[in-house]
Structure 1
Amino acid sequence: MHRPPTPGLGFAAELDALRPGLAEPYAAALPGAGAAVLSRLWRALAHEPLPWVTHRAREHEGLTLRLADGRRLQGPPADPYTTADHVTEVRLDGRPYAGPAALMTALGVPHGAAFAAELADSVASLALSRAAQPSGDVRVRGRLPVPGWEWEQRVVDGHPYHPNCRSRPGFTVAEQLAYGPEHRPLVELRYVAVDASAVTGEWPGWLREGGRVLIPVHPWQAEHVLGVPVLPGPAAHPLMSLRTLALAGGPAAEQAGVHVKTALSTRLTSSVRDISVASIVMAAPVSAFMEKAAAYTDGLLDITRTLGAVTTGSPDLAAMVRESPDAYAGTGERVVPVAALPGTGLPRSAAWLADFARLTLRAGLRLLDLGVALEAHGQNLLVVLSPSGAPLRLVYRDLSDIRVSPVRLARHGIPAPEPAARIITDDVTALRRKLFGSLVAGTLGATAGSTAALRTALGTAVRDLPDTADLAALLEDPLPVKALTLMRLSPGTPGDQWTALPNPLAGPRA
């Protein structure tokens, strides 16, 4: 068997020098991390429209891919909604590969070498994340965390479907341990002081000092990108997105628990993120618009308000301040990011999944009919749980990637937000892709963990939903989902690329 190379001896050596007590757990975690990344990669190979895969066929209780050069790639069945680390090897023309980076190198496809390096980094980072967890069962027992950042830091494995689930290029081992949310650090933010006349956007008073605006920046960003003088800033807990942090407190009461989105710019999964000038300009009007739009869900969903957004005209020096989702929890309730649900230790039965699917679809389809398509993936969407763990309501955060349809809004007598050209579209396909790809194929699929469980949950939930053209499309059409691996192998193609997954409701329903 072609065994995966140790993903960078430099990584292991740095870990041994920095945290020798983690070296053995890290080595033990490597095979499982490799299987996790390989499982995600195999899902992509099986379902994405990769130009060098010409045919797919089920054979001998597995799946065979025919490549454009005549080679055959064989592996186990590929359930598009599974979250299990079930693929330990695949065979390329009979030769077994257990390492995703080695497999991608052997495939020899365009841009595959760079992607292989990212896969190796994802395996190494995931092994480190798993190795650094507390011993024993890390799920919540006894005391339930109250602040939402504790839930977020229990998301160890990253994106449930992306092979780059833990890829952090440019981060040393020391920086991963210092800044990765799953390592539970307390991060000391920095401030860049800018003359108030030199910025665009609205900004809270507690981030002003005389005639200057204080822009929070991530310490990694301050060290590697900015090259400007910085001031000490507040301590904060990193959240799932790494560049967004929950303030641990401060001299101003308004600071406690507030979320700060920094302009930390590095590739984590599919793309390099930044905070564009356009997103700063539209932040306040879109936030106000979405507060009003959320009212149409009859209390099913709340929006975390944008409290401030500012830029100097550069994507490297910008920041946003948002409400904490915890503000929407009642007595005894918890607000949990959907991606963190597996780490709660709370029971999630078939009935729970059906209730959760009903809640999310009712809110999402109501807003879609209104003219708003949410990007409701497991990081942006949070669920308010009762003391017993029942899903009660939803909270949505980060409005930069929603889509808004002026035509649909006009049917309800609602004007579209201005200025917001980047998020405006009346394309029905684009609107449905945005919601269905993130919520159904992503959030609900990952929460259910398999086609069978997703089929049962959806089949029960859709019976109680209003009959609309969007619901009919959800019931009848293949499910759109971003082709995440194709996007990484197509660096010259801007924007999102898509594939269609089998609709679980095409099979027998519960």
Structure 2
Amino acid sequence: MDRVDLPPPQADVPVAHRADAYAAAPLLNCLLREVAEPLPEPGERPVYRLPGGRLLRVLGQRRPAEPEVYTAGGWRRVGHAELVKLVAEELTRHTGVSNHELPAEMTDSRDAVAALLTARDRVAAPEDPYLRSEQCLVTGHPYHPAPKARGGGPVAAWLPYAPEAHARFPLVLLGLREDTVVEEGDTSALDALGEAPPGYRLLPAHPWQLDLVDRVEACAEAFAEAFADGRLIRLGTTGFETWPTAAIRTVYAPEHDLFLKFSLDVRITNDIRRLWRHDLLKLRRTDEAVVKAFAASPGPRPAAWLSDRGYRTADFAFEELAVLVRDGLHDRVRPGTTPLLAAALVEGFEGNPLDGTADPADWWQAYLGAVVPPALAAFGDHGVVLEAHLQNTLVAVDADGMPVQALFRDAEGVKLPADVPRAAGWERLVYCLVVNHLCEVAAVLAERHPGFDPWPAARRELARHDLPEAAALLTSPTLPGKTNLLLRWTGADGADARYLPLPNPLVGA
């Protein structure tokens, strides 16, 4: 949580006001980065000119708050509903394209935040610091216009499965007739989650996903037929609870030390979060390439890859019922350390090691040494582009809160040399690792420790690596910033990426 720009979780601050502030910050970040023109002499409240000529000013920079527009010779505060209307008008003018879907998502995201805040006020956070870190992201993606949208469905449909509400729940267990099973890789961990009758294989399912597909007439009919003819049978639920992680559709089962990733037919940020057939079919090739790259990783503090071991699904509902099996933590995390979600370090949670960091320079150097080398080595030595953004990176810290190891996850977001040209792969890595990740952590450190400049150390770390692209990055005037607002407004494919140039803080650091 941004302790400067966002309201604290206090009972005397109405939920509606807190929700407005949380929802406005990432929307303003997008608007100001992608289409606004900053005016000179920003001062305490930076002023920006919007495409239509209107002036907008905000409080703060990392998490902008309290937006005001200049009208009739004075500044007037803009609430969240009016901000959504303003953004829609400016984007229509800027792009020449209208969009009625995204403003609804912006409102849905704000309303979801209100529901999450209300729920969080009534339930205790997990005792385990790792689980707390996975479930703390009320703001979420700081540069997305609707990071908490949940598909516009009623709160009661999704809140029981929301990590931000500290949810935990059993999985539905289905029996899948053996002649309809489709699987690849090592899925043996699924068979330990329950017991299937002879002739069937165990197939866990996310209860929210089952609710979602049941509301689609064609899917509901297909599933009804499968239950009627015995291809599917219901076996109850797991005898243990799972915890949804920040990814929402990925859950962690601590008793089994296992991650499971499901399809979820709802738009979250840019994508419908379904396990798509084309991604599943290339999963083993991708995961094996990353495993090989990490096995050869040099250095005294080797990073870990949480392998996507395999998947299991039904031939008659390949994407809808797919479940992906991912490595747990116990055999991957260094003994005596605690893994934490990198995004949580930025958002803030109880137990955040940054709360007790007296010397930001040492902490930052350790963080860079853990996170940067494995990502650069995977690219430089193997052409593997990790999706090393904040939500796909875990950082293990020792008893003093010092970073000692990085763990990366999600083969679905990885790119191999056969997927993209090298230049495009490097651009993607720079966006994920530097812009989305290091820039955010650096900004928090600079905010908490006035006068501390994190970029000379980042420059030294990048310069240590014998990689031509890294050397060029140190002199490039710009970094690639993904345009999530414009991508969503223009209806681009969810997996698309278009970048605009951002000032490079590494230059001259």
**2:187 is matched by which residue type in structure 1?**
P
- Match for residue 426 of structure 1? 421
Is 1:216 matched up with 2:204? yes
- Match for residue 404 of structure 1? 416
Percent identity, aligned pairs only, is 25
> Unaligned stretches of 5+ in structure 2?
1-9, 215-219, 228-233
Asked if the contact 1:105/1:112 (under 8 Å) is kept, the reply is no
- Match for residue 406 of structure 2? 394
Provide Cα deviations, 1:148-185, integer angstroms capped at 9, x if missing partner: 33431233332233232222124422234311112222
Asked if the contact 1:451/1:504 (under 8 Å) is kept, the reply is no
Q: 1:105 aligns with which of 67, 82, 85?
A: 85
C-alpha displacement of 1:75:
1.5
Q: 2:250 aligns with which of 219, 228, 244?
A: 244
**Rounded Cα–Cα distance in structure 2 between residues aligned with 1:467 and 1:204:** 39
**Rounded Cα–Cα distance in structure 2 between residues aligned with 1:425 and 1:238:** 31
Is 1:350 matched up with 2:360? yes
- Match for residue 118 of structure 2? 131
- Match for residue 309 of structure 2? 307
Provide Cα deviations, 1:396-447, integer angstroms capped at 9, x if missing partner: 11111111125xxxxxxxxxxxxxxxxx22231x212221111111122222
- Match for residue 253 of structure 1? none
**2:67 is matched by which residue type in structure 1?**
E
- Match for residue 63 of structure 1? 47
C-alpha displacement of 1:338:
0.5
C-alpha displacement of 1:340:
2.0
Q: 1:96 aligns with which of 57, 68, 76?
A: 76
Is 1:204 matched up with 2:187? yes
Q: Aligned in 2, Cα 1:35/1:98: closer, same or farther, shift over 3 Å?
A: farther
Q: Aligned in 2, Cα 1:206/1:363: closer, same or farther, shift over 3 Å?
A: closer
> Which segment drifts farther, 180-189 or 152-161?
152-161
- Match for residue 367 of structure 1? 378
Q: Aligned in 2, Cα 1:238/1:452: closer, same or farther, shift over 3 Å?
A: closer
**1:382 is matched by which residue type in structure 2?**
L
C-alpha displacement of 1:385:
1.0
Asked if the contact 1:201/1:280 (under 8 Å) is kept, the reply is no
Asked if the contact 1:41/1:100 (under 8 Å) is kept, the reply is no
Asked if the contact 1:189/1:216 (under 8 Å) is kept, the reply is yes
Q: Aligned in 2, Cα 1:288/1:401: closer, same or farther, shift over 3 Å?
A: same
Provide Cα deviations, 1:271-329, integer angstroms capped at 9, x if missing partner: 21211122222223322221110123225311112232123353212110111234322
Asked if the contact 1:200/1:281 (under 8 Å) is kept, the reply is no
Provide Cα deviations, 1:173-215, integer angstroms capped at 9, x if missing partner: 2234311112222212113333333333225345353332332
C-alpha displacement of 1:45:
1.6
Number of corresponding residues: 446
**Rounded Cα–Cα distance in structure 2 between residues aligned with 1:263 and 1:315:** 7
**Rounded Cα–Cα distance in structure 1 between residues aligned with 2:71 and 2:444:** 29
Residues 67-466 of structure 1 aligned to structure 2 (within 5 Å) = 67=51, 70-76=52-58, 79=61, 82=62, 84=63, 86-91=64-69, 93=71, 96-106=76-86, 107-108=88-89, 109=92, 110-134=97-121, 145=128, 148-202=130-184, 204-205=187-188, 207-208=190-191, 209=196, 210-226=198-214, 227=220, 228=223, 229=227, 230-234=234-238, 235-249=241-255, 256-298=256-298, 299-312=301-314, 314-341=318-345, 342-343=348-349, 344-346=351-353, 347-348=356-357, 349-351=359-361, 352-370=363-381, 371-405=383-417, 424-428=419-423, 430-449=424-443, 456-464=453-461, 465-466=464-465
**Rounded Cα–Cα distance in structure 1 between residues aligned with 2:13 and 2:149:** 18
Structure 1 counterpart SS, 2:267: coil
Asked if the contact 2:99/2:490 (under 8 Å) is kept, the reply is no
C-alpha displacement of 1:452:
5.2
Asked if the contact 2:39/2:49 (under 8 Å) is kept, the reply is yes
Q: Aligned in 2, Cα 1:493/1:179: closer, same or farther, shift over 3 Å?
A: closer
**1:504 is matched by which residue type in structure 2?**
P
- Match for residue 7 of structure 1? none
**Rounded Cα–Cα distance in structure 2 between residues aligned with 1:130 and 1:326:** 32
**Rounded Cα–Cα distance in structure 2 between residues aligned with 1:104 and 1:384:** 39
**2:460 is matched by which residue type in structure 1?**
R
**Rounded Cα–Cα distance in structure 1 between residues aligned with 2:474 and 2:55:** 32
Q: Aligned in 2, Cα 1:170/1:45: closer, same or farther, shift over 3 Å?
A: closer
**1:258 is matched by which residue type in structure 2?**
L
Q: Aligned in 2, Cα 1:310/1:245: closer, same or farther, shift over 3 Å?
A: same
Asked if the contact 2:445/2:454 (under 8 Å) is kept, the reply is no
Asked if the contact 1:46/1:65 (under 8 Å) is kept, the reply is no
Structure 2 counterpart SS, 1:393: strand
Q: Aligned in 2, Cα 1:440/1:64: closer, same or farther, shift over 3 Å?
A: same
Structure 1 counterpart SS, 2:243: strand
**Rounded Cα–Cα distance in structure 1 between residues aligned with 2:411 and 2:53:** 44
Taking structure 2 as the reference length, what is the TM-score of the superposition? Answer: 0.79
Provide Cα deviations, 1:372-406, integer angstroms capped at 9, x if missing partner: 11111111111111111111111111111111125
**2:118 is matched by which residue type in structure 1?**
A
**Rounded Cα–Cα distance in structure 2 between residues aligned with 1:26 and 1:401:** 42
**Rounded Cα–Cα distance in structure 2 between residues aligned with 1:305 and 1:338:** 18
Q: Aligned in 2, Cα 1:206/1:165: closer, same or farther, shift over 3 Å?
A: closer
Q: Aligned in 2, Cα 1:170/1:218: closer, same or farther, shift over 3 Å?
A: farther
Provide Cα deviations, 1:108-139, integer angstroms capped at 9, x if missing partner: 22444322221222222223323333589x89
Instruction: Give runs of ≥4 in structure 1 deviating > 6 Å.
Output: none
Asked if the contact 1:41/1:162 (under 8 Å) is kept, the reply is yes
Q: Aligned in 2, Cα 1:60/1:169: closer, same or farther, shift over 3 Å?
A: same
> Which segment drifts farther, 324-333 or 214-223?
324-333
Taking structure 1 as the reference length, what is the TM-score of the superposition? Answer: 0.79
Q: Aligned in 2, Cα 1:92/1:241: closer, same or farther, shift over 3 Å?
A: farther
Q: Aligned in 2, Cα 1:93/1:71: closer, same or farther, shift over 3 Å?
A: farther
Structure 2 counterpart SS, 1:375: coil
